[in-house]
C-alpha cells in the first residue's frame, strides 16, 4: 500500500487498531551538513493516526514493512506569489495583526490545489549534465539503498530509472565526444591453417580434435582497438537505455533532446560488440585520462541491476524499485549553476565560486568578475510566513558583510557587495529567466525594503497533466 504526497506538506493517515508505532521504520537520513541531520521525511504518531511531513526530498521508501511513502516532485507554485508579495512590502513596521493576516491569507492560498504542478526533474538533470563543471557536483544528488526489499510501483511512477539513464547517456556523450578508449583485449578464435597467440588446449580438443578438424586451432591472442571489455559493457547498457526511452514516454515526451544525445553516441559504438561477462567489470582498473569511464560504468551497473540484467523488463507495466531519494534544493542549485554558465558563455565556473564556505556557512554562489561582485542565494525552499521570508533575506545580506567574503572578491574599503535571491517560477511565466550577469542588478529586480538586495525568478520545467 502506497501513501502518496507532495513536497513540503503534511498528510494525516488513519490506520486500523492493530497498527502500532513500533511498526514504523525509522525515516532515512539523507545527509548531515554543519552538524544538522536532514531526514527524507518525518512523522508524528498518535493513536489511530499518523501525520507524515515531507521535506524537499523526493523519492520512495518504506514506512512499515508493508506500506511505503512516495514523495512526488510536485510543488504548489502559488508559494511564489506569496513570496513576491512579502518582499514587495516596503513598510518595516507591520503590526503583529497585519503579519498574522498576511500569513493566514498565504496559508489559504497554499491549501489550494489549483497551482500544483509536477516538476520535470529529468529536464532539469539534462540541463545540469550538459555542463561538465556542474556534472561533477551530481554525486550527492541521489541516495539509493540496494540492501532492503524493493517496492512495487507502476512504470510511470518510476523516477529513479530515467534519472539514472540521463546521467549515463550524458557520461557516454562525453566519452563519445572525447573518443573511445583503445586498449589491448583478448580474442578467442578458431583459426584455420595457422596459429596466433596461445593454443587453448581444452577447447581445441572439444571443438577440433574430437570432430576431426585437424587443420583448425583454437587460439587466444591480444589485439589493440575499441572493442574492449569496458566499451562492450557501455554498449550493452546503451542498448538498455535506448529501448527504455523508446518505450517510456512520460518523462521523455519531448524526445528531441534525448534523441540528439542518443544519435550522437550511436556511431561511436558501431564497431563495438555488446557481449560481456559482467563479473569482469568489477576488476577493471581505470585510466585517469579517461575518468568518464569510471562514472559511466558505475551508473551503468546501477541501471542493469535495476532491471536484473533483463532488457525485457524495460517495457513492464509494473516494476520493483529500491528505496531512493533525490535532493531537490541541491538539484535547484545545480540547475541555477547550469543556467549561469549557459547564459554567460564568456565566463567559466571559477567566476561563480559555487558553495563558497566560511565560518560554518556556505554561500550558494559568490560571483566575482571584473565588473560584478554578487552574493547569490538559490531559494528552492520558499517560505510563506512573512517573518521567515524576511529572515532569509537578512541572512543573505549578512553573508555579504563577512570579511572572508569581502576578501575573496577583493574588497578592502567601504564597498558593498550586492545580494541576489534566485527562486523558482513556473515555466511560461512572465519572469525573465535569463541569468546574464550584467542584467541581474536592475531596478526591476530590486527589493525595495532593503539596500542592494535583488531577486529574480527563473523558469522550472514542468510536466503537463495528461
- Please spell the DSSP secondary structure of 140-201, one letter per residue: GSEEE-TTS--EEEEGGG--HHHHHHHHHHHHHHHHHHH-PPPEEEEEEEEEES---SEE-H
Question: How do beta strands 36-39 and 68-72 pair?
Answer: unpaired
Residues 317 and 56 sit within 8 Å (Cβ to Cβ): no
d(CA 225, CA 218): 21
- Does the pLDDT value for residue 118 go beyond 80? yes
Strands across the sheet containing 198-199 = 183-192, 216-225, 198-199
Exposure b/e, 275-299, CB count within 10 A at least 16 = b:
ebeeeebeeeeeeeebebbbbbbeb
Mean pLDDT on 304-314:
69
Q: What is the pLDDT of residue 430?
A: 56
For the whole prediction, is pTM greater than 0.95?
no
User: Is 322:328 a contact under the CB 8 Å cutoff?
Assistant: no
Give the pLDDT of residue 432.
59
DSSP-derived pairing of the beta strands 183-192 and 151-154: unpaired
C-alpha 301/C-alpha 280 separation (Å) is 12
Per-residue pLDDT tens for 25-48?
888 999 887 778 889 998 887 777
Give the per-residue pLDDT at 250: 76
If you average pLDDT over every residue of the chain, what do you get? 85
Band (426; pLDDT cuts 50, 70, 90): low
pLDDT at 216: 94
Tens-place pLDDT, residues 199-249 = 999 999 999 999 999 999 999 998 888 888 889 999 999 998 998 888 877
Q: Tell me, what's the pLDDT at 394?
A: 86
Place of cell 555488446: 274
Whether 255 shows a pLDDT value over 80: the answer reads no
**Residue-range domains of the chain with CATH:** 2-72 (no CATH), 151-182+227-321 (no CATH), 184-225 (no CATH), 328-463 (3.40.1350)
Of 181, 186, 170, which Cα lies nearest the Cα of 268? 181
* Nearest residue to 74 (alpha-carbon basis) of 141, 155, 9: 9
Question: Using CA atoms, how far apart are residues 79 and 381, in angstroms rounded to an integer?
Answer: 10
Q: Sort strands 419-426 and 453-460 into parallel, antiparallel or unpaired.
A: parallel
pLDDT of residue 312: 59
Beta bridge partners of 142: 326
Give the C-alpha separation, 203 to 190, whole Å: 9
Amino acid at each position: 500500500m502506497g501513501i502518496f504526497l507532495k513536497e513540503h506538506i503534511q498528510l494525516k493517515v488513519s490506520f486500523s487498531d492493530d497498527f502500532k508505532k513500533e511498526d514504523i521504520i525509522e525515516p532515512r537520513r539523507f545527509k548531515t551538513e554543519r552538524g544538522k541531520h536532514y531526514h527524507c521525511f518525518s512523522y508524528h504518531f498518535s493513536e489511530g493516526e499518523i501525520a507524515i511531513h515531507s521535506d524537499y526530498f523526493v523519492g520512495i521508501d518504506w514506512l512499515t514493512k508493508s506500506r511505503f511513502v512516495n514523495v512526488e516532485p510536485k510543488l504548489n507554485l502559488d508559494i511564489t506569489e506569496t513570496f513576491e508579495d512579502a518582499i514587495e512590502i516596503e513598510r518595516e513596521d507591520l503590526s503583529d495583526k497585519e503579519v498574522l493576516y498576511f500569513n493566514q491569507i498565504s496559508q489559504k492560498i497554499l491549501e489550494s490545489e489549483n497551482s500544483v504542478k509536477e516538476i520535470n526533474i529529468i529536464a532539469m538533470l539534462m540541463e545540469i549534465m550538459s555542463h561538465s563543471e556542474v556534472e561533477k557536483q551530481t554525486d550527492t544528488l541521489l541516495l539509493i539503498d540496494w540492501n532492503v526489499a524493493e517496492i512495487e510501483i507502476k512504470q510511470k511512477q518510476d523516477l529513479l530509472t530515467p534519472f539514472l539513464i540521463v546521467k549515463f547517456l550524458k557520461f557516454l556523450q562525453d566519452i563519445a565526444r572525447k573518443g573511445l578508449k583503445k586498449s589491448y583485449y583478448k580474442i578467442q578464435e578458431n583459426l584455420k591453417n595457422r596459429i596466433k597467440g596461445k593454443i587453448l588446449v581444452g577447447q581445441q580438443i572439444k571443438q577440433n580434435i574430437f570432430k576431426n578438424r585437424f587443420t583448425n586451432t583454437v587460439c587466444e591472442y591480444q589485439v589493440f582497438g575499441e572493442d574492449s571489455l569496458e566499451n562492450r559493457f557501455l554498449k550493452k547498457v546503451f542498448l538498455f537505455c535506448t529501448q527504455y526511452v523508446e518505450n517510456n514516454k512520460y518523462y521523455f515526451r519531448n524526445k528531441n533532446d534525448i534523441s540528439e544525445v542518443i544519435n550522437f553516441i550511436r556511431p561511436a559504438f558501431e564497431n563495438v560488440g555488446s557481449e560481456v561477462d559482467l563479473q569482469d567489470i568489477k576488476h577493471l582498473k581505470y585510466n585517469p585520462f579517461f575518468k568518464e569511464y569510471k562514472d559511466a560504468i558505475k551508473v551503468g551497473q546501477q541501471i542493469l541491476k535495476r532491471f536484473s540484467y533483463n532488457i525485457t523488463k524495460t517495457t513492464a507495466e509494473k516494476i520493483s524499485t529500491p528505496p531512493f531519494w533525490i535532493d531537490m534544493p541541491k538539484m535547484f542549485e545545480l540547475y541555477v549553476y547550469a543556467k549561469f554558465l549557459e547564459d554567460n558563455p564568456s565566463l567559466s565556473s571559477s567566476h561563480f565560486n559555487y558553495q563558497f564556505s566560511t565560518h560554518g556557512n556556505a554561500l550558494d554562489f559568490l560571483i566575482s568578475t571584473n565588473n560584478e561582485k554578487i552574493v547569490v542565494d538559490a531559494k528552492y525552499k520558499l517560505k510563506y510566513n512573512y517573518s521567515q521570508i524576511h529572515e532569509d533575506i537578512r541572512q543573505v545580506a549578512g553573508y555579504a558583510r563577512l570579511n572572508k567574503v569581502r576578501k575573496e572578491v577583493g574588497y578592502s574599503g567601504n564597498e558593498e557587495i550586492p545580494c541576489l535571491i534566485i527562486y523558482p517560477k513556473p515555466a511560461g511565466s512572465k519572469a525573465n529567466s535569463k541569468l546574464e550577469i550584467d542584467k541581474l542588478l536592475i531596478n526591476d529586480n530590486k527589493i525595495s525594503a532593503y539596500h542592494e538586495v535583488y531577486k529574480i525568478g527563473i523558469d522550472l520545467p514542468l510536466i503537463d497533466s495528461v
